[in-house]
Amino acid sequence: MSTLEAQNPRDYFRVALQSALAAAFCLGLPAGLLLWLILFQRLYHFVVFQALIDFLHGHGLYSIYILVVSSIVWSYLLGRISGYRPWGWIAVASALSILAAWFSPLANIDGILYAYQPALPVHLSYAASMVGLIGGVTLFVGLAYGFILYNIKAALTIGLTTSFVSVLALLLTILLFDSLGIRVGTGNLAMVRVTAVALITSALAGGALLGVGFRWFVEEARRHSSQNIENK
Mean pLDDT of the region 38-62 = 88
The DSSP code sequence of 47-91 is HHHHHHHHHHHH-THHHHHHHHHHHHHHHHHHHHHHTBS-HHHHH
pLDDT of residue 224: 76
Residue 213 has pLDDT above 60, yes or no: yes
d(CA 202, CA 206): 6
118 phi/psi in degrees, rounded to 5: -65, -20
Taking only the tens place, the pLDDT of each residue in 70-113 is 999 999 999 999 999 999 999 999 999 999 999 999 999 988 99
In this predicted structure, the answer to whether residue 41 has a pLDDT above a threshold of 60 is yes
Identity of residue 5? E
| pLDDT given at position 43 | 86
Radius of gyration of the chain (CA): 19
pLDDT in tens, 129-168: 999 999 999 999 999 999 999 999 999 999 999 999 999 9
